[in-house]
Amino acid sequence: MRIADQNKNWYVSRFESFEKSLNGEANSKIHTVRKAAIARFAELGFPTTRDEEWKYTDISSFAGVQFDPVVKDQPHHPAANDVQRFLFKDGGYSRLTFVNGQYAKHLSSIPSLPPDVIVGSLAEALKNENGVVHEHLARHARYERNAFAALSTAFLQDGAYIFIPKGVILGTPVHVLHVSTGSEKELASHPRNLIIAGADSQATVIESYVSLSNNRYFTNTVTEIVLGENAVVEHEKLQMESSRALHVGLTHVQQARSSNFVSNSMSFGGELVRNNIVAVLDGEGAECTLNGLYHGSGNQLIDNHTAIDHAKPNCSSHELYKGIMEGTSKGVFNGKIIVREEAQKTDAKQTNKNLILSEGATIDTKPQLEIFANDVKCTHGATIGQLDDESIFYLRSRGVGLDEARILLIYAFAGEVVERVGVAAVRDRLDRILHERLAR
Amino acid sequence: MEKLMLQIIDLHASVQGNEILKGINLRVNVGEVHAIMGPNGSGKSTLAQVLAGRESYNVTGGQVLFEGKDLLAMKPEERAREGLFMAFQYPVEIPGVSNTYFLKAGLNAIRKHRGLEELDAMEFLKLVKQKAKFVEMDESLLNRPVNHGFSGGEKKRNEIFQMAILEPKLAVLDETDSGLDIDALRIVADGINKLRSKENSVILVTHYQRLLNYVVPDFVHVLVDGRIVRSGGKELAFELEEKGYDWLKEGFEEVEAHA
């Protein structure tokens, strides 16, 4: 039997123990979803490089690892001091902290919010059999053809639940902090976030993934974001997992008419990282912007798969992903744009630019356009390059040292994405992360 | 007593195997302005680039002493920190790097090297405003990315602006006058004249005599085919303006033939 298959059976057997631990909750509505998901996972198994969607990303080095899914409260919770450095000081942010996927109330802080806004734990909302949650949870992010999403859905327990009612403008960002303790046991956590922005509402959500140790663990997360008509949502994902972690994430965005969604996805951590974003423009005049920045060093593999589904006419999408690869790291960018037959007057632009800083670093970049309408504007471009010698010489000739000149130029390259981030505190954090990482 | 700023001794340099400089000898004293003139392809720009330390030029022989130190052994940034400045013939556009940010990094590296305190943001801003006025540079250009979207004249002015900020001991201006309209030329010349002092030296690499109407050199050298074939006072520039370079080329070839 293949290791990957053994491993599949391991998760299925862990699901059975999980189920037993649920007691009465096993009769809840969500549990039928979990059961369907584990059944589907058992059929799919983990992908290999023979799968087109995983052609450039070989997960076999993790296939033999039996990560233990977190199914109950951890005996040890980190103290406030341990997570202090991951917070944003700018006052007034709501903060939801999850430790190994489970809500940590003592590390969370929710200031007074406009009436009927909910910023809290998904487990809590499920316990209360919240109708809106059932209407949306696991209804958008598809797991039929995505084994990791199926596995994540099977072990779905907790994560952020954010609900913004119609017409409400949430002035300050919500920070959702996912902390992995990286305990000796190799844990798998399956954080599940659900963000619902009602018609004419506005919100900004920062999702960050951090680690307290440099151990091996597995984060397999799914975030569903639902935008009502005219809703405006900015979503920042800051991935700073441990350098030995496996991180797989799916962000699914469902957009109604004239809604506007912006995603800034920044990946720095992890040994093997796969970020999937699927945005469905399911109403006329919707607009979607996906920006991304990834920096790989050592032997990191960072894979960004994006898919924008233009399902209705007059929608626009803009995409800019930039990668910086050092050491023997590997980057993958796969940008799919689907324009459905009905989606006339689509305006889609995709750009992927990469900087290769060492001989051992590689990048696979692949635009994938599937266009079924005939009156559309779709452009895509990909570049792979090195630092410009002329520019380095110019900077050095003014007294700037070689290392600093290189950092200035790499920083300038990244700056094109950083400056698009709407939250100043996140931009500042990115400045700091980049400077720390590049000065190493 | 005259103090030596730069001494070039039998300098040979090649690019991709082609020898461009074939034995340059030049002495520049402190406080002097030298003009190096010559036809296209004579090696003027190569000389400037070699002095600034561009790695694509291969020095195959000779020596360059800058205040008695071995210039060719220094990295480009070390040359700048020692007080050498080259104004680029074609200034590089660097999107994403702010003009003032990089200049502050450069200036502070130079100040540190000289044992001076680094300037803080406020002090630097003050200096920048003062020097921008001095080269009549639009302040809106200062915070733009380096040379990005600048006109030809703005780029050249930016070079002079950087020179004014960095206050080099020796400035090498590589065809800074080329392609400028008369107003820009006056501003550039003004900048050079203001830098000119008893403590500094300037090497003007130029194709045209025009700049020398505004910046009067102490010496003029004519470079032909990788060698200085004639040196003289400012009157040599007028002679070149009148007669062109051909008479020197021919004379030079004759000398070669009889040698």
Domain boundaries, chain A: 3-283, 388-440
Q: What is the mean pLDDT of chain B?
A: 91
Q: How far is A268 from chain B (nearest CA, A)?
A: 21
Predicted complex ipTM = 0.94
Q: Confirm if B83 and B168 have CB atoms less than 8 A apart.
A: yes
pLDDT one-digit tens code per residue, A107-131: 999 999 999 999 999 999 999 888 9
Other beta carbons less than 10 A from residue B257's beta carbon: 7
pLDDT bucket at A75, cuts 50 / 70 / 90: low
8 Å CB contact of B162 and A398: yes
Name the residue range of residue B194's domain: 4-258
Burial of A21 (0-12, 13-18, 19+ CB in 10 A): exposed
Backbone angles phi, psi at A412, to 5 degrees: -65, -40
Give me the pLDDT at residue B257, please.
43
pLDDT at A348 over 90: yes
- pLDDT the model gives residue A73: 60
Q: Which residues in chain A are closer than 8 Å to B118, comparing Cβ atoms?
A: none
The pLDDT assigned to A4 comes to: 65
Cα–Cα distance measured from residue B85 to residue B169, given in angstroms and rounded to the nearest whole number: 8
In the prediction, which pLDDT does B252 show? Answer: 55
Q: Length of chain A in residues, anyone? A: 440
Host H or E run for residue A350: strand A347-356
> Which residues 136-155 on chain B approach chain A with CB closer than 8 angstroms?
145-146
CATH of the domain at B171: 3.40.50.300
CB distance B92–A391 less than 8 Å? yes
The pLDDT of residue B143 is 85
Q: With an 8 Å Cβ cutoff, are A408 and B86 in contact?
A: no
B54-82 average pLDDT score: 97
Using the beta-carbon criterion (under 8 Å), do A400 and B75 form an inter-chain contact?
no
Segment B6-42, tens digit of pLDDT: 999 999 999 999 999 999 999 999 999 999 999 989 9
Cβ–Cβ gap A397/B113 under 8 Å: no
Per-residue tokens: A247: 């991180």
pLDDT of amino acid A343: 98
Residues of B in contact with A408 (CB under 8 A): 97, 101-102, 105
In angstroms, what separates the C-alpha of B247 from chain A's closest C-alpha?
36
Mean pLDDT of B93-121: 95
Distance CA B135, CA B138 (A): 9
Angle formed by the axes of helices A29-44 and A147-154, to 10°? 150
For residues B232 and B169, what is the distance between their CA atoms, to the nearest angstrom? 23
SS3 of A118, please? strand
Half-sphere exposure of A304 (CA within 13 A, CB side): 30
CA dihedral over A100, A104, A107, A108, signed as positive or negative: positive
Give the chain A residue whose CA is nearest to the CA of B53.
Answer: A397
B24/A145 Cα distance (integer angstroms): 72
Closest among A164, A162, A165, A144 to A153, alpha carbons compared: A144
Q: What angle do CA A335, A337, A343 make, to 5 degrees?
A: 165
Under the banding of pLDDT at 50, 70 and 90, the label for residue A1 is: low
B103-117 average pLDDT score? 96
Chosen for mutation from A293, A398, A406, A435 (greatest number of chain B CBs closer than 10 Å) is A398
What's residue A345's pLDDT? 98
pLDDT beyond 50 at A347: yes
Q: What is the pLDDT of residues A30-69, one digit of tens each?
A: 999 999 999 999 999 999 999 999 999 999 888 778 898 8
Rounded mean pLDDT, A142-148:
94
**Mean pLDDT, residues B199-204:** 95
Q: What does the pLDDT read at residue A272?
A: 97
pLDDT tens, position by position, B138-173: 888 888 999 999 999 899 999 999 999 999 999 999
Q: What tokens does A396 get?
A: 């050095």
Question: d(Cα A12, Cα A5) in Å, to the nearest integer?
Answer: 11
Residue of B nearest to A415 (CA): B96
Q: Select the more confidently predicted residue: B243 or B161.
A: B161
Confidence of residue B259 (pLDDT cuts 50, 70, 90): very low
Residue A273 has pLDDT above 50, yes or no: yes
Mean pLDDT of chain A, nearest integer:
94
* The pLDDT of residue B255: 47
Average pLDDT over residues A294-322: 98
What percent of chain A has pLDDT above 90?
Answer: 85
Smallest Cα distance from B79 to chain A, Å? 8
A375 pLDDT above the threshold of 90? yes
Instruction: Quote the pLDDT of residue B254.
Output: 45
Res. B258 pLDDT band, cuts 50 70 90: very low
Distance from A319 to chain B by nearest Cα, in Å?
19
The pair of three-digit structure tokens given for residue B195, joined into one six-digit string: 């830098």
Please tell me the total count of domains within chain B.
1
Do B102 and A391 lie within an 8 Å CB cutoff? Answer: no
Query: Is 90 exceeded by the pLDDT of residue A185?
Result: no
Mean pLDDT across A193-222: 97
Question: Measured between CB atoms, does B91 come within 8 Å of chain A?
Answer: yes
Compute the C-alpha angle B178/B179/B184, nearest 5°: 95
pLDDT of res. A90: 65
Is pLDDT at A252 greater than 50 in this prediction? Answer: yes
Which of A390, A397, A412 has the CB atom closest to B86's CB atom?
A397
B245 has a pLDDT exceeding 90: no
Q: How far apart are CA A146 and CA A183, in angstroms?
A: 28
- The residue in chain B having the minimum alpha-carbon distance to the alpha carbon of residue A396 is B77
Residue B163's pLDDT is 95
